[in-house]
Amino acid sequence: MKKKGSLYLIPADLGSANFNAIFPPFNKEVILSIKNFIVEDLRSARRFLKKLSYPGNFDDVNFMILNEHTDIAETKDYLDAINNGSDVGILSEAGMPCIADPGNVIVQSAHRRNIKVISLIGPSSIFLALAASGFNGQNFSFLGYIPIKPNERSSFLKDIEKRVWKNNQTQIFIEAPYRNMKLYESILNSCDPETMLCIACDLTLDSEYIATKSIKDWKRTKPDLHKKPTVFLLSKY
């Protein structure tokens, strides 16, 4: 019987141009050997592979699209190459696949089919931010994107703030970069002055900014978060 391939979860950089400073050499070895990739966007996937000096012609590479517009029924054949002994890689747009990122349905399918799933080492903005925040790292909740409408967002922030004080649970969330400043203002207007807020922006980049302060102290400053990938964390000291 032919040996099955594996499903590799391939992290991408968070914007840094220096691949070797962030990823172990083994990642590159694996990536350059794969001919089947599940990606969110074809153009950015090719750009990432070019940075690694991917060998051969991209016309010979099987790129399969998985994003918010993909019908799950279209993905039923995405892992078929594995049965023929070839590896398949899920390539994230930024950071780790399947964490605040599409891909979990493919991993579910792999487990149902007894396919080996291998996570490669790489940056996750969520965990980098949590580690650098000084907040509780044993009890935390990642909430993804929170409501956009002002009233709903304010109510949501007040609800998760209660978890901070009642359960000592760190609350982690993100926003589309162009809406960061609106979220920042909403946090300041909705949360208790003594609640702690960590802002982790442009992680792994030269412009990286990480700071933890009380809401009261944040009201004395205004960081420039516009169009910059940012993770927000609420907790208490």
220 within a domain of the structure (yes/no): yes
Domain that holds residue 29: 7-119
Residue 163 located in a structural domain: yes
Residue 174 lies in a domain: yes
How would you classify the pairing of strands 170-174 and 230-235? Answer: antiparallel
Q: Does residue 50 fall inside a structural domain?
A: yes
Asked whether the predicted pLDDT for residue 17 surpasses 80, the reply is no
Query: Lowest-confidence range among 21-25, 33-37, 125-129, 172-176?
Result: 21-25
Give the SS3 label for residue 63.
strand
142 domain-assigned: yes
Same domain, 47 and 131: no
Measured CA to CA, the distance from residue 32 to residue 49 in angstroms comes to 8
Boundary residue ending a domain (119, 145, 178): 119
Residues 69 and 12 in one domain: yes
Q: Are 79 and 141 in the same domain?
A: no
The whole-angstrom separation of Cα 93 and Cα 76 is: 22
Asked whether residue 53 is domain-assigned, the answer is yes
Sheet harboring 209-214: ordered strands across?
140-145, 170-174, 230-235, 196-201, 209-214
Shared-domain flag, residues 41 and 99: yes
Do 139 and 217 sit in the same domain of this protein? Answer: yes
Last residue of a domain, one of 90, 119, 148: 119
Region 119-138 average pLDDT:
97
Asked if the model's pLDDT at residue 1 lies above 70, the reply is no
Tens digit of each residue's pLDDT (9 = 90 or more) over 202-224: 999 999 999 999 999 999 999 99
- Tell me the pLDDT tens digit for each residue of 23-82: 999 999 999 999 999 999 999 999 999 989 999 899 999 999 999 889 989 999 999 999
What CA–CA distances, in Å, run from 79 to 46, 54, 59, 106?
20, 22, 19, 8
Q: Quick one: 135 and 77 in the same domain?
A: no
State how many domains the chain has. 2
- Range 113-125 average pLDDT: 96
Query: Higher model confidence: residue 17 or residue 62?
Result: 62
pLDDT of 2 > 80? The answer is: no
Question: Which residues touch 112 (CB under 8 Å, ≥6 apart)?
Answer: none
Q: What is the pTM of this model?
A: 0.92
2, part of any domain: no
Instruction: Tell me: do 102 and 55 sit in the same domain.
Output: yes
* Per-residue pLDDT, 216: 98
Are residue 15 and residue 115 in the same domain, yes or no?
yes
Does residue 111 share a domain with residue 136?
no
How confident is the model over 145-170, as pLDDT tens digits? 999 999 999 999 999 999 999 999 99
pLDDT at residue 199 in the model: 99
Kindly state whether residues 191 and 134 are assigned to the same domain.
yes
Residues 81-112: tens digit of each pLDDT: 999 999 999 999 999 999 988 899 999 999 99
Q: Where are the alpha helices (DSSP H) in 117-220?
A: 125-133, 150-167, 180-190, 215-218
Q: Residues 194, 216: one domain?
A: yes
Residue that finishes a domain, picked among 57, 85, 119: 119
pLDDT at res. 16: 81
CATH code (residue 97): 3.40.1010.10
Sign of CA dihedral 212, 222, 95, 208: negative
Q: Are 60 and 160 members of one domain?
A: no
List Cα–Cα distances, 88 to 36, 79, 155, 200, in angstroms: 5, 7, 42, 32
Q: What is the pLDDT of residues 179-208, one digit of tens each?
A: 999 999 999 999 999 999 999 999 999 999
* CATH code: domain of residue 142: 3.30.950.10
